[in-house]
Amino acid sequence: MLGFFKSSFDSKPPPDRRVYAIDDIHGQRDRLAAMHDAILRDAEHAPETQRVVIYVGDFVDRGPDSPGVIDLLLDEPLPGFTRIFLKGNHEDYMLRFLEGDIEAGAGWHANGGDATLASYGVEVEGMWPDLTVLV
């Protein structure tokens, strides 16, 4: 069964490339900043000349500072790094809701969207139905 999951290609980056991955930031700007600091310290002594950081989605929701996370990612890139951003399910819920898919709102709320809205100053009290009560 495990043979099914084995890859037929070499998943290592080329020898001159160093790759970092950060996932599930969830509105935690301070933790993202700490990760950036750790990556910069590590890369300082790395022999590789090409440096890549991959952000594996879920930038928003749950944490208190989704705007700070987005601003940090956009306005303060790691110097000398190629950046790759992947959309996570949290961004998918948020974007679908903001583009008018009202039904996506319940999924977004269930996954912490209320924290993102609150971090942007949107009053969320009573915005969503109480899904814990059976009608």
Q: Residue 134: inside a domain, yes or no? A: no
Instruction: Spell out the long-range contacts of 101-107 with Cβ–Cβ below 8 A and sequence spacing 24 or more.
Output: 106/131
- Over residues 40-60, the mean pLDDT reads 95
Among 101, 131, 130, 120, residue whose Cα is nearest residue 63: 120
Q: Residue 95: inside a domain, yes or no? A: yes
- Over residues 47-65, the mean pLDDT reads 96
- Over residues 86-111, the mean pLDDT reads 91
Which position has the higher pLDDT, 80 or 132? 80
Q: Residue 29: inside a domain, yes or no? A: yes
CA distance 133 to 90: 24
Domain range for 104: 12-119
Radius of gyration of the CA atoms of the chain, in A? 19
**Amino acid of residue 98:** L
Q: Residue 94: inside a domain, yes or no? A: yes
Q: What is the CATH number of the domain that holds 47?
A: 3.60.21.10
pLDDT at 11: 74
pLDDT at 1: 52
* DSSP line for 57-106: S--SSSSS-HHHHHHHHHHSPPTTEEEEEE--HHHHHHHHHHTT-HHHHH
pLDDT at 127: 62
Residue 12: pLDDT band (50, 70, 90) is confident
pLDDT at 15: 87
Q: Residue 101: inside a domain, yes or no? A: yes
Catalytic one of 26, 36, 90, 109: 90
Q: Is 36 a catalytic residue?
A: no
pTM of the model: 0.83
- Over residues 13-32, the mean pLDDT reads 95
Number of domains in the chain: 1
DSSP SS3 for 50: strand
Mean pLDDT over each residue of the chain, to the nearest integer: 88
Q: Residue 124: inside a domain, yes or no? A: no
